[in-house]
Amino acid sequence: MIADAAPQSPFRLVVSGGGTGGHTYPALTAVRTLRQRLAEAGRGLDVLWIGTADGLEARVARDEGIAFTAVATGKIRRHRNPLRMLGPANLRDMARVPLGVVQARRAIKAFGPDVVLATGGYVAVPAGLAARACERPLVLHEQTVRLGLANRRLASSATRIAVSSDSSLPLLPESLRASAVVTGNPVRPEVLAGRADKAVAALGLTGFDPRLPTLYVTGGAQGARQINDMAVSALPWLLERANVVHQCGPAHVETLRAGTAGLGPEGAGRYFLTGFVGPELPDVLALADVVVSRSGAGTLAELTALGKPAVFVPLASSAGDEQGHNARHLARAGAALALEGRAATPEGLRQAVEPLLTDPARREAMATAARAHGRPDAADRLVDVVLAAAYR
């Protein structure tokens, strides 16, 4: 497909998506993969990212050297009562979308992309609607099991809909299934190349017992108080059975450090508390035998690609209960465990992790099931879809 185009003519891509890392980083990984694919064929890539001026996507695009255009958009605040969704904030934001579409249409027309890739989040709606108005091929990528609100709005305009799981296909309206393809959720290549020994050295884990499994507890970049409280309450019990790396969020470090000061020397040596895990994350994941975390789409993609047994504590307030759907989907397949509602307690955590920490065969069985759901080649699959849409 690439060879049919003039080598001297760069491929032109508009990408839109952001608001959170779950929408932003799959787009960035796809851009990097596409650039490498084209370079191998002797062709360049020109990219324009359309998003909001204060969104994560603006910073990521700037850091990556990608041209960026900001447009007006509006966030829809969900509520179980549909009438509550017609509140002043939603109405005010929805009124901004037409202006954003006009701005995005102007940008797309001037840029002249071969294809538009939208990875979800409310920031992608104006660019997706403008792609249809400009008669440009539109590829949607959905990270979660169910289509998010933005992608549902854009689905009828899409040339192709890339989904992350086979289980997403029967959830799509029948009219959309012919345009859907399973790609998986792009995972950064560096996540797949971690080394456990580098984590031990980088974090100074000299007190860790190599005979015990390592449990990685994380609530994401900002931490999660619910997960922190469960882990600390169960900590003495956990440290009898495992080494523990606990990423608690920068705002929680001092409180938790004070709360765990009473650990004996042996237990303290097997417990590492940190507010944030940065570039060393791939190595920490390589070291981890079991992970306790939220169940965002990016986390699922990474853990299944690596084949890591996990205990998920879904964020109950996630849009459309996306995290709950994600966790239950893998739990039904034996690829993870899900702690929700009243089960999300220190006792529930102990019951969930005990067989994984004490039974290597049980741990390996879950790792195998998780790996079966992983798609480490998702970025390449998504790039295939993007190129096919451009040259259809």
The whole-number pLDDT of residue 279 equals 93
Q: Percent of the chain beyond pLDDT 90?
A: 80
The whole-number pLDDT of residue 77 equals 45
Over 50: is that where the pLDDT of 339 sits? yes
Would you mind telling me the total number of residues written for the chain in this entry? 392
Over 60: is that where the pLDDT of 131 sits? yes
Question: How much is the pTM?
Answer: 0.87
CATH topology classification for 2-187+376-390: Rossmann fold (3.40.50)
Listed by start position, the domains of the chain span 2-187+376-390, 189-373
Over 50: is that where the pLDDT of 150 sits? yes
- The closest of 18, 30, 364 to 188, measured between CA atoms, is 30
- The closest of 65, 33, 46 to 5, measured between CA atoms, is 46
The whole-number pLDDT of residue 262 equals 84
Q: Which residue has the higher pLDDT, 260 or 159?
A: 159
User: Homologous superfamily of 189-373 in CATH?
Assistant: Glycogen Phosphorylase B; (3.40.50.2000)
Over 90: is that where the pLDDT of 259 sits? no
Over 60: is that where the pLDDT of 1 sits? no
Q: Do 2-187+376-390 and 189-373 show the same overall fold?
A: yes
d(CA 373, CA 295): 14
CB 218 within 8 A of CB 277: yes
Please report, to the nearest 10 degrees, the dihedral formed by the alpha carbons of residues 135, 40, 24, 320 taken in order: 70
d(CA 127, CA 103): 9
Q: Which residue has the higher pLDDT, 84 or 105?
A: 105
Over 80: is that where the pLDDT of 240 sits? yes
Give 127's contacts (C-beta < 8 A, 6+ positions apart).
Answer: 14, 16, 50, 71, 104, 108, 116, 118
Which of the four pLDDT bands, split at 50, 70 and 90, describes residue 91? Answer: low
Give 178's contacts (C-beta < 8 A, 6+ positions apart).
Answer: none
Give 345's contacts (C-beta < 8 A, 6+ positions apart).
Answer: 230
Ramachandran assignment for 18, one of left (phi > 0), alpha (psi -120 to 50 degrees), beta (any other): left
